[in-house]
Amino acid sequence: MIGQTISHYKILEKLGEGGMGIVYKARDTELDRFVALKFLPPYLASDSVEKERFYHEARAASALNHPNIATIHEIKEFEDRLYLAMEFIDGKTLKATAAQENLSIQKVLDIAIQVCDGLAAAHEKGVVHRDIKSDNIMLTPRGQVKIMDFGLAKVKGATKLTKAGSTIGTAAYMSPEQAQGLEVDHRSDIFSFGVVLYELITGRLPFQAEHQAALVYSLINEDPQPLARFNDKASPELERIVLKALAKDRDERYQHVDDLLADLRHERKGLEYARAGYARSTATGMVSVQPGKGKRLLKFVVPAGAADALIALAIVFNPFNFQISTQKSNAASEPNSLAVMYFENIPDPEDKDHTGEMLSNLLITALFQTKNLEVISRERLYDIRKELGEGDSKAIPPSMATKIAQRAGVSMMLLGSILQKEPMLAVTYRLIEVQGGKILSTRRLAGFPQDKVFSLADTLALLVKDDLNLTSATDAKSVAEVTTKSAEAYRSYLEGVDLEAKFSFEDSKGALRRAIELDSNFAIAYNAVARVEFRTGQNSEGSGDLRRAYQLRKNVSERERLQIEAAFAQNIEKDPLSTVRILEQLIEKYPGEQLAYRTLALEYFRKFYDPERAIQKLTSGLKRDPMDKSLWNMLGYGYASIGKRPDAFDAVDHYMNLAPGEPNPYDTKGDLYFLFGERDSAVIWYRKAVAIRSDYGSNGSLAADAIGRQDYERAREYLLRLHAPTDFSPVISAHQGKLRKAQEDLLADLSAHRNQHLPDLMERDYLPLLLNAYDLGDYPAMVKYAKARCDLLKNDPGNKVYGRDALAWAYLKAGDTRMYRKVVEDLKEAANEPIAFIQIGKSITSALFSFEQGDYTAAARQYREALKMGRSKAQPQLPFAVSLLKTGQIEEAVRELHRVAEWYPTGYTDPLAGVLPTEIYWIIASVKAHYWLGVAHEGAGQEDEAIKEYEKFLQIWKDADFKSSELEDARAHLARLKGGASMKGTAPN
């Protein structure tokens, strides 16, 4: 047939011949690819029953789609012969490979795992091979396994010993039930694969005889020789696996290929540990006790000093018939600090049901309640994994586990595996000394039902504490008591937390909401969803969920209780003193809580404006973990706030060295250059940030810079890259002097947010509307927007000012002296706390009121006091600059006006951010600064400079759509200056 074209296949060469036909290599002329054509025996086409059976089996096999199963492209007939067009595989059979190579155990396991993967996929679809043998499995040069001939074995005569073409070699792979002519199921494939596995390890078949009758007897009655007789590299565990696969009684065999697969993967993991320098352990001291009838479940609540006793009780009163296997060494001599690594889910490598993730996190929670043991939190481990490029990976190879543990600065690490999930959970763990890799203890537990994962975690915690000779806290609780009793709720919680870490906030909220629906008392789920809601600006929802978490805080561990109480004090009570006190307590009890250092530093910086204390907390955190990127980042801003330029840039350079491929270090460096007045240098670094990630937040800074340069099209391009839901048109319109257009757009946003019932976004809409109305001279509208904003803000009982500073300002501008004084008096009582944040806001507000009443001397003094608290890098204030000018302090006024003209919001944490009103719509103030610079230069007799600034102001607002006294005055002054006559002292009030 070589050279013939059959259908669209041109036959090129013969590949082989067997009992089920002849195989040719051919070219598919339509798709231009090589295929294998298998022509089946002639009798199949003439026997209608067998032909239909073949079509049925072949169709089922052709539906299998798996990388370890050879694909069947189509089934056809040619000259009364059936043939299959199959995937052509360039490689060797396992039979040839085993004969030609001395395969290592590692390579055997790699092959075996792939075969099991393919069989598992087929069995899941109800397809049984029935003719697994080393001749039916191919291995490509790249090491990929392909199982051949699915769908053929059920055809009459295909595996009968008496059929023509059948050989003793084929019979040697049959299961005992198959050899006896009994009905077979997927367990027959497991036996046949056990034969292949034995062959790969030893180079010989387990059952051998000179004729078929003797071979059948051997299959049914004789045991194979031990693996170690032919390969001394085969471990006792591998021996156990092979013998279980080859069990004569199929009920004693592996019941599912997934179970075999799990054991093979665990054995391969053992080899990885050995290569990574860890000793292999042997299970000893197996204990198994059958529970008595009616025996009640033991609750794993651990009183102080009772770890040993409870482990004994857990074994004696063994409710789940669990089994514990132990091997111990002396405990580490270093201080007790532990990183619990991910429990590898061997039956489910992708951990789709989160069982591995659940177990590791529940164990961490349980161990947090242990005296004299520092346990690294899951959040910190995730941060470290992300820094090391393993953030999206679930399983952790041993070599990476060591790096993570070293990075965390712990003395010990725990590596675990879930060996099986059905019918009962079986797990193992190794407690390893990080320095040197010494195994301190190994444990294996079996016999826990899947729905008892919480009890399993409690038991694991008891064993770990026993390994370390430690006791629990006196008020220790079971993990179910401090998390949830619902495994499904905990799975949804973990899913939500993982999605939050990946910035998938909407999906995260959905998963966390599911967790709460499953358990309405799940405190940490409420806390987590509140955190996400605050991050996405849903402050009302976040406040409600945080309140619920606070109510349920007795249902969490002490560490999480302190976290919830700190969040409640910070976000609900708005009490900086309580927030700081709780956070200080948290890091005292849990010094590895890196997030607490960050939050403390922010509180000292923002609320107390004590940058030195903030820097102290940041450096304390860095002493514990000198590779904490976020702390280096914040330290750079901290030093910048007090004018320490070299220290600021040194900190951000440390940050950049730790994260050279991330955009944020470059963005931070841009911010620092901007804060030190080097705008062009800042832009260079912002561009480097967006070169790494095109949609990064640095686009906002670049857009602000482009707006300042009147490059509005480029600004729009930068803003579009942010993919933000906010419409930035009002910002650009305001810079162009189109304040009425900006007002229309802002009102449209407000209407949309009102219709969508988004009060948080409505509150944010009212502030620019109020500020815009101020510049339009529409003071009644100012009052209207200020009152509406107050109505929204006062729903937050922790906000004692709730926008009344802006309301007083609006009443003052509207000429309602009585209401202005009333609101001011109310504010004095509300803003009496001796906290820098409150006092800065109070001084800024008083200065603004003095400015609006024309008392420029008082305004300048009050602004100076406030800005002294806010240090040199605080946001510049246009009223302060004008007050300086009005009081004759021209040189200082010019410096401040230049700052106003050049300033725009950055990532810098300004201590004045959120203090209302800290600025009058910065985008408008930056333009007006040019007008006032013209006035200042003209007053100083610097006419050329004055002309330049007036022209700049008029050019930016050339298309203004409102009547402005500054515009009219600038035109008049410019005309006089160009005509040679100065108009000193005629600037508008």
The catalytic site residues sit at: 131
The single-letter DSSP state of residue 411 is: S
Collapsing DSSP to helix, strand or coil, 380 comes out as helix
- The contacts of residue 97 (CB under 8 Å, 6+ apart) are 103, 139
**CB atoms closer than 10 angstroms to residue 15:** 15
Residue 734: burial class (beta carbons within 10 Å; 0-12, 13-18, 19+): buried
Per-position DSSP letters for 348-376, written without gaps between them: STT-TT-HHHHHHHHHHHHHTTBTT-EE-
| Token digits of residue 605 | 């910086």
Place of tokens 């200020």: 786
Helix (H) or strand (E) holding 495: helix 487-501
Token output for 42: 């002639």
Query: Tell me, what DSSP letter sits at residue 232?
Result: T
Q: Which residues have CB under 8 Å from 562's CB, separation 6+? A: 582, 585, 586, 589, 590
Count of C-beta atoms within a 10 Å radius of residue 334: 12
E strand spans, 125-278: 137-139, 145-147
Angle 890-902/878-886 helices, nearest 10 degrees?
160
**Token pair for residue 686?**
């912002």
For residue 675, report the phi and psi dihedrals to the nearest 5 degrees. -65, -30
Cross-strand partners of 338: 375, 412
> Which residues on neighbouring strands pair with residue 642, listed in sequence order?
none
| DSSP secondary structure string for all residues of 473-534 | -TT---HHHHS-S-HHHHHHHHHHHHHHHTT-HHHHHHHHHHHHHH-TT-HHHHHHHHHHHH
Classify burial at 448, counting beta carbons within 10 Å of its beta carbon; exposed 0-12, middle 13-18, buried 19 or more.
buried
Cα distance between residue 352 and residue 942, in whole Å: 73
Q: Residue 425 phi/psi, 5° resolution? A: -70, 140
Could you give the count of Cα atoms lying within 13 Å of 743 in the half-sphere of its Cβ?
Answer: 20
Q: Is the dihedral of CA 821, 822, 823, 826 positive or negative?
A: positive
Which of these, 47, 43, 6, lies nearest to 25 by C-alpha position? 6
Q: Three-state DSSP class for 168?
A: helix
The amino acid sitting at 730 is P
Q: Could you give the CA distance from residue 225 to residue 276 in angstroms, rounded to a whole number?
A: 32
| DSSP string computed for 586-611 | HHHH-TT-HHHHHHHHHHHHHTS--H
In the chain, helix, strand, coil percent, each to 5? 55, 10, 35
Structure tokens belonging to residue 916 = 């209302």
> 504: phi > 0 → left, psi -120 to 50 → alpha, else beta; which?
beta
Cβ pair 227, 205 in contact under 8 A: no
The tokens describing 709, both together, are 């340069």
Residue 253, CA distances (Å) to 114, 170, 247, 433, 450 in order: 20, 21, 5, 37, 22
Q: Which residues are registered as beta bridge partners of 339?
A: 413
The tokens for 734 are 């305001």
Instruction: Give the Cα separation of 571 and 610 in Å (integer).
Output: 20
Please tell me the distance from the alpha carbon of residue 345 to that of residue 546, in angstroms, as a whole number.
Answer: 33
Ranges assigned E (strand) in 19-68: 21-28, 33-39
Coil, strand or helix: which one is 430?
Answer: strand
